[in-house]
Chains A and B, each alone.
Chain A
């Protein structure tokens, strides 16, 4: 096992300040909206005010007559370029600009290019669009009713709003388990639609050079290489004439995985005007039209013996995908990795069935620290286990402890086909309970209850599946999910590492330098991380689903290992011995038994570029490359405990404590891991207490600004109490598992379980997030609301 360094360091793993913060803290970051090119024009998008309406006519004459307007683009014009529709990430199409009708509020209808942002926005008001309003399909539960309006009449032969049916697990065996079970508990639950809401909204600057034919796109993308290939495939542009640059990105959370109409429109604008065109959406556009997350209506059942042995899980999901199926997930898995819903427990059988439907809402469906729907899966199983505990009148921590997978069961093949790589679950749960003082908390709760006060303790245990993924199982639009890495050591011993993944705030410029440093012994400060520019980095699928460390981190470790291996050969030539005679210590090869006789990596680098005679077949310089196709996913896990106090008269929830024990394998930089966990926990508190995008009956989005879509602040968050266990992944070269989404996956059920635990004195077993004061009070009085609809 790699030693875990929790001290400050200059070489390898350990605590080190983030390299990128030097510029961020000085306000010197370089985001898409900071890009200013000579002659650059500005675009603005006209959006639909209706959720579902036929476009009768569009009159752009007045906008075109505006003195500062350079181009007005409509769907009709895009049709002539064959760009009105583009492929989605899930074998559907999305409209770049609506041609026939609009299918959600906020959908793109026209695009204006003008001299400045103000003029472009002014001109939008000069475009006249005549709509014929159609009935909107807002409630996913009625989307398949024959009486519901047909949303996708653009698809030939389509007669309903059905997208897909998908199932996983052994249905027959699961049914048998349920038929014979002593106890079966059933619960319906909604994981409401939420939004990633990155601090930086989406945008692009497109610059088509009419002379060279080279198109450069600076854009807010988590996957610059995948985007380049998609632009090439969709627009027929030659890939070698395409450069996609993802500069500093102000948060992604999956929101910046896909290609948005605005990016394509910036490109079209640049082609039409022969000038660079910038398009940057505003906050409401981001919230109303870009990739949301969740929106899963789940009906779960759990089977167990009377003494609390969990036997099986069965679930049906109604998945609201919005107006176009544009979720980003591996081709074979239309419900992402939802089928990891059997969670962290040793059970006999599990079966899930997922139905995807269209509604008149914005498309997307996978963003927001999604782990490809592991978030929904963990919420389901962790709520179901609590429902079972309540039914059996058992302590939820004890029920979990009794059913958690045991360390000796790894590698563990789950009932739905996952191979969990490694874990010691009971140890993590016990540690969380110890930090929390679990037994004391339960005593306090009993005392509070006797006084009529509401206090709740919520436990959740999660198993993540990240690092997608093995090429033989996973691709996105035919592109395998492997990542490249290229490490070059300069003659003076400084190094550059080029990555295919792109950071949105995760600290890659620090952690990837630490990986190279860990393997080669080159100081972290001497290693430059290059990423985000397709012209200067190797191909790979990008950063989402917590995949950077498990996939690209492995590529980086192996490329660094190749540098070290080559350094050994060169050192042997320098020392006139055989490579086998050399032994490694951090940053240096030396002769076995003669430690004073050796060469540092810096000396070796200089020699590698000099006149030194190398063995036959060994080329000079000191480089290493790797394309890493992961053999399996990695399975980080954790145990979370949340303590809440609730004002029973106002319904206000106070999250008093939150204990998070995470196991993501060895930690490259514990400080960055803690930061990731803190952020994810805040996300979880936000989703559990306040975040949701609801719609009224006409399809008006009720979460289109930060006044309506609330994000938690530090005042809603307790001082996080974090802990760790370390179980390395057996198949990752450094044992690393990834942590980006762990806390977002694990925390919502802990908060909700705590709230329901508090409210259980009223006989409450479940109500849906978010637990705003109104929802808590309504739950207390026995009439919890549907949180995806307008409150009445």
Chain B
């Protein structure tokens, strides 16, 4: 058994209490929610926080609701709740498809949406999904609340723009934009991190794409985004040819690194294949008239 270094523990009783504890302990404190990334890192002693602030009792942070034409997801919402949500499956197949292949049921029962985004793992599926969805996150600290687009939230591998005294409380996704979405992932084995994955969100009018979101997982894309590919596709007719070219551009502009999941050329190739497939699926969903 791997054992972590000594650590103190505080249980937050409310969001305000959690923020107060964060202020009190400063940067040596870590928020723990699902703990499925944090605890393994602590056991490996890659992280040695001095105190853990447990958010699990702040249950009013766990919700999925519709408000102001947005879907709002509380940070403490578990992956399994996202997967089972009828609101999600009705509007955002990209989220359901991603959740189905995130880790395993044990992790999904415990791991939280907010934790996944804050961990900023380059292989995090939800980061690419919410990036494709052009979602926003709500950050709250003692000085107030700010809303940050997901595409500005992540500042690099394992780093975000969140301040030490802030907590991510909510994710907001506009309900007006998409007509079709999809998520495609290839992994070495079920439950493994993605070798590469691609999420696509489309809005189509007059058979042309007028809004495109493409998120890339585990291939070193800035903000998990395929900007050049998105830009290419906007305004284009959604033919096999344009989809192909879009996929090629996404592959060309990502920045994968080699590891035992695969060499660079393969990962790049996979981005092309998966972008093509995800776009095809999303287009089909748009045509089908339903999500």
With A and B bound together, what is the CA distance between A392 and B262 in angstroms?
34
CB-based contact B190/A772 at 8 Å: no
Query: Which residues on the B side are within 8 Å of A791 (C-beta)?
Result: 258-263
Stretch of B2-10, B110-118, B134-142, B282-290 contacting A (4+ beta carbons < 8 Å): B2-10
Q: Does A707 contact B (CB under 8 A)?
A: yes
Query: Which residues on the A side are within 8 Å of B270 (C-beta)?
Result: 650, 773, 777
Q: Does B186 contact A (CB under 8 A)?
A: yes
Q: For B3, give its contact among A33, A121, A702, A707 (CB under 8 Å).
A: A121
Query: Which residues on the A side are within 8 Å of B189 (C-beta)?
Result: 689-690, 710, 712-713, 716
CB-based contact B266/A774 at 8 Å: yes
Q: Does A54 contact B (CB under 8 A)?
A: no
With A and B bound together, what is the CA distance between A778 and B186 in angstroms?
15
With A and B bound together, what is the CA distance between A481 and B44 in angstroms?
41
With A and B bound together, what is the CA distance between A791 and B260 in angstroms?
6
- Given A710-B189, A716-B190, check contact A650 B273 (CB 8 Å): yes
Q: For B266, give its contact among A122, A280, A282, A777 (CB under 8 Å).
A: A777
With A and B bound together, what is the CA distance between A253 and B3 in angstroms?
26
Query: Which residues on the B side are within 8 Å of A703 (C-beta)?
Result: 260
Query: Which residues on the B side are within 8 Å of A790 (C-beta)?
Result: 258-260
With A and B bound together, what is the CA distance between A778 and B190 in angstroms?
21
CB-based contact A283/B2 at 8 Å: yes
Q: Does B1 contact A (CB under 8 A)?
A: yes
Q: Which partner residue on chain A sits nearest B191 by CB separation?
A: A713
- Interface magnitude class on chain A: 35 or more
* 0/1 string, B1-31, CB within 8 A of A gives 1: 1110110000000000000000000000000
A residues 633-661 touching B (CB-CB < 8 Å): 649-652
Q: Closest approach, in angstroms, between the C-beta of B219 and any C-beta of chain A?
A: 13
- Given A118-B6, A122-B6, A280-B1, check contact A778 B263 (CB 8 Å): yes
CB-based contact B261/A772 at 8 Å: yes
With A and B bound together, what is the CA distance between A785 and B262 in angstroms?
10
* 0/1 string, B42-57, CB within 8 A of A gives 1: 0011000000000000
CB-based contact A785/B263 at 8 Å: yes
Q: Closest approach, in angstroms, between the C-beta of A495 and any C-beta of chain B?
A: 39
Q: Which partner residue on chain B sits nearest A686 by CB separation?
A: B189
Q: Does B65 contact A (CB under 8 A)?
A: no
CB-based contact A774/B3 at 8 Å: no
CB-based contact B190/A715 at 8 Å: yes
Q: Closest approach, in angstroms, between the C-beta of A762 and any C-beta of chain B?
A: 15
B interface, by DSSP: helix, strand, loop or mixed?
loop
With A and B bound together, what is the CA distance between A139 and B161 in angstroms?
43
Q: Does A494 contact B (CB under 8 A)?
A: no
Q: Closest approach, in angstroms, between the C-beta of B250 and any C-beta of chain A?
A: 15
Query: Which residues on the A side are within 8 Å of B258 (C-beta)?
Result: 790-792
Query: Which residues on the A side are within 8 Å of B260 (C-beta)?
Result: 694, 702-703, 708, 790-791
CB-based contact B191/A774 at 8 Å: no
Interface size on B, residues (CB 8 A): 27
Q: Does A117 contact B (CB under 8 A)?
A: yes
Query: Which residues on the A side are within 8 Å of B193 (C-beta)?
Result: 707
Q: Does B192 contact A (CB under 8 A)?
A: yes
With A and B bound together, what is the CA distance between A197 and B6 in angstroms?
29
Q: Closest approach, in angstroms, between the C-beta of B47 and any C-beta of chain A?
A: 14
CB-based contact B263/A117 at 8 Å: no
Q: Which partner residue on chain A sits nearest B276 by CB separation?
A: A649
- Given A282-B1, A690-B189, check contact A777 B269 (CB 8 Å): yes
Q: Closest approach, in angstroms, between the C-beta of A484 and any C-beta of chain B?
A: 36
Q: Does B188 contact A (CB under 8 A)?
A: yes
Q: Does B195 contact A (CB under 8 A)?
A: yes
Q: Does A284 contact B (CB under 8 A)?
A: yes
Query: Which residues on the B side are within 8 Å of A694 (C-beta)?
Result: 260
B residues 173-195 touching A (CB-CB < 8 Å): 186, 188-193, 195
A residues 106-122 touching B (CB-CB < 8 Å): 117-118, 121-122
Query: Which residues on the A side are within 8 Å of B261 (C-beta)?
Result: 772, 774, 791
Residue with the greatest number of chain B CB neighbours at <10 A, chosen from A117, A690, A772: A772
Q: Closest approach, in angstroms, between the C-beta of A545 and any C-beta of chain B?
A: 29
A residues 692-714 touching B (CB-CB < 8 Å): 694, 702-703, 707-708, 710, 712-713
CB-based contact A117/B1 at 8 Å: yes
Q: Closest approach, in angstroms, between the C-beta of B189 and any C-beta of chain A?
A: 5
Query: Which residues on the B side are within 8 Å of A652 (C-beta)?
Result: 186
CB-based contact A650/B186 at 8 Å: yes
Q: For A774, give its contact among B44, B262, B274 (CB under 8 Å).
A: B262
Q: Closest approach, in angstroms, between the C-beta of A716 and any C-beta of chain B?
A: 6
CB-based contact A774/B263 at 8 Å: yes
Q: Which partner residue on chain A sits nearest B43 by CB separation?
A: A282
Q: Closest approach, in angstroms, between the C-beta of B52 and any C-beta of chain A?
A: 15
With A and B bound together, what is the CA distance between A772 and B262 in angstroms?
8
- Given A652-B186, A791-B262, check contact A774 B195 (CB 8 Å): yes
Query: Which residues on the B side are within 8 Å of A122 (C-beta)?
Result: 5-6
Q: Closest approach, in angstroms, between the C-beta of B265 and any C-beta of chain A?
A: 8
Query: Which residues on the B side are within 8 Å of A777 (C-beta)?
Result: 266, 269-270
Q: Closest approach, in angstroms, between the C-beta of B193 and any C-beta of chain A?
A: 7
With A and B bound together, what is the CA distance between A708 and B40 in angstroms?
14
With A and B bound together, what is the CA distance between A656 and B274 in angstroms?
23
* 0/1 string, A103-141, CB within 8 A of B gives 1: 000000000000001100110010000000000000000
* 0/1 string, A773-788, CB within 8 A of B gives 1: 1100110000001000
Q: Closest approach, in angstroms, between the C-beta of B272 and any C-beta of chain A?
A: 9
* 0/1 string, B226-265, CB within 8 A of A gives 1: 0000000000000000000000000000000011111110
- Given A122-B6, A778-B263, A792-B258, check contact A773 B188 (CB 8 Å): yes
With A and B bound together, what is the CA distance between A284 and B45 in angstroms?
13
Query: Which residues on the A side are within 8 Å of B192 (C-beta)?
Result: 707, 710
Query: Which residues on the A side are within 8 Å of B264 (C-beta)?
Result: 792
Q: For A778, give its contact among B44, B266, B274 (CB under 8 Å).
A: B266
* 0/1 string, A49-92, CB within 8 A of B gives 1: 00000000000000000000000000000000000000000000
CB-based contact B186/A773 at 8 Å: yes
With A and B bound together, what is the CA distance between A724 and B13 in angstroms?
62
Q: Which partner residue on chain A sits nearest B262 by CB separation?
A: A774
CB-based contact A649/B188 at 8 Å: no
Q: For B273, give its contact among A118, A649, A713 (CB under 8 Å).
A: A649
Q: Closest approach, in angstroms, between the C-beta of A68 and any C-beta of chain B?
A: 11
Q: Which partner residue on chain B sits nearest A705 by CB separation?
A: B44
Residue with the greatest number of chain B CB neighbours at <10 A, chosen from A689, A708, A716, A791: A791
Residue with the greatest number of chain A CB neighbours at <10 A, chosen from B5, B186, B191: B186
With A and B bound together, what is the CA distance between A33 and B1 in angstroms?
10
With A and B bound together, what is the CA distance between A792 and B261 in angstroms?
10
With A and B bound together, what is the CA distance between A283 and B40 in angstroms?
12
* 0/1 string, A549-569, CB within 8 A of B gives 1: 000000000000000000000
| Additional A-B contacts beyond A117-B3, A280-B1, A713-B190 (16; CB < 8 A) | A117-B1, A650-B270, A650-B274, A652-B186, A690-B188, A710-B188, A716-B189, A772-B188, A772-B261, A773-B186, A773-B262, A773-B266, A773-B270, A778-B266, A790-B259, A791-B261
A interface, CB within 8 angstroms of B: 33, 117-118, 121-122, 125, 280, 282-284, 649-652, 689-690, 694, 702-703, 707-708, 710, 712-713, 715-716, 772-774, 777-778, 785, 790-792
- Could you write out 6 A-B pairs with CB less than 8 Å apart? A118-B3, A689-B189, A694-B260, A707-B192, A774-B261, A778-B266
B interface, CB within 8 angstroms of A: 1-3, 5-6, 44-45, 186, 188-193, 195, 258-264, 266, 269-270, 273-274
